[in-house]
Amino acid sequence: MKIQLKLLCILLSFSVTNICVADYSKHPQTSAFVDLMVNKHKFPREQVVEWLAAAKHQKSIVKAMTRPAEKVKPWHQYRKLFVSPLRTERGVKFWQENQQTLQRAAKDFGVDPAIIVSILGVETNYGRNTGSYRVIDALSTLAFDFYVSTEKRESRRKFFTTQLEHLLLLAREQNQDPLSLKGSYAGAMGWGQFMPNSYRNYAIDYDGDNLADIWNNPIDAIGSVANYFVEHGWKKDQPVATRAHVKEGFNKEGLNKMRRPKMDIDTLKDQGYKPVENYPGDTKAFPMVLTGKYGDEYWLGFHNFYVIGRYNPRIKYAMAVYQLSLMIREQRCESIADC
């Protein structure tokens, strides 16, 4: 029987541990994690073991991780997922309903309210889809199986193991059951889809009830997103991105590198990029190209575009956030005098 089960695991292209060790408390990858939680954070060993025993491997998470939209869809298809009339309309409504909080966040943190609204729109459609996976299932699947056997990447294995560590710490700090917390297939949580370490480091109590709750509280979600951006270097009243024209033989080196901009506009002009808007020659930017429906689109991303990328380091993601923010602001300004 054991030989047959082992053969079944191989035939189904799973590692033996994924099927043959369904109980994560007995998974060969978890003993060091249990020791960490016990020795470093003083959790009772039996409690950590109990939680891991309850965690379940999710095949749908493995499937989702192998085909993220940012990788498989060209820009003009990806854009439709997030930059739409309905999401714009809902963003305007959310802004109207939370105007005072957004104004306060803009004053306290210096972050554009349209960007805050757009982040919440792209991430969860303004709280409508915060994720249905148990976070402990997602993080266990990724830390102990996916990045060990499916896509072997030690840096990612360590990242998701650290997220599981922070999940248990967050649950203890907020007096919550870690088995009850829900999120995305990658373990992101709440209106703003914070990973557990970001939740602990950047989520804030913005309504004064002594609880940073981005699962259910849009006020805390707004303050937390604004805090995240300012902590990652958002510059008040500075541009995000601009379209650019390119000359024949332009320098393609550095295209779509989501890094802190180091080249200035004058240098980029010398390399064949001409921004459609005028900016001081010493403004730092980096070049981007996106696959539009009718051809390539060239852009220059400024420092604040890079900061959006600290939320999710994908060019298409950051551009979707930026363009949705423009549409939300434009539609809102059509209906009010002071926008």
Q: Which residues are catalytic?
A: 123
Residues 6 or more apart whose CB falls under 8 angstroms from that of 244 comprise 268, 273, 274, 275, 276, 287, 298, 299, 300
- What is the spatial distance between Cα 289 and Cα 150, in angstroms, rounded to a whole number? 31
Q: Specify whether the CB–CB gap between 303 and 264 falls below 8 A.
A: no
Residues 6 or more apart whose CB falls under 8 angstroms from that of 46 comprise none
> Amino acid identity of 141?
T
CA dihedral (200, 205, 210, 214) positive or negative = negative
Q: Specify whether the CB–CB gap between 85 and 322 falls below 8 A.
A: no
Residues 6 or more apart whose CB falls under 8 angstroms from that of 253 comprise none
Q: Among candidates 293, 238, 245, 292, which has minimal Cα distance to 261?
A: 238
Helical pair 218-231 and 303-311, crossing angle rounded to 10 deg: 130
Task: Enumerate helices (H) and strands (E) in the chain, giving the number of each.
Answer: 17, 7
Q: Among candidates 142, 139, 147, which has minimal Cα distance to 163?
A: 139
What is the residue-wise DSSP string for 310-338?
HHS--HHHHHHHHHHHHHHHHHHHTT-S-
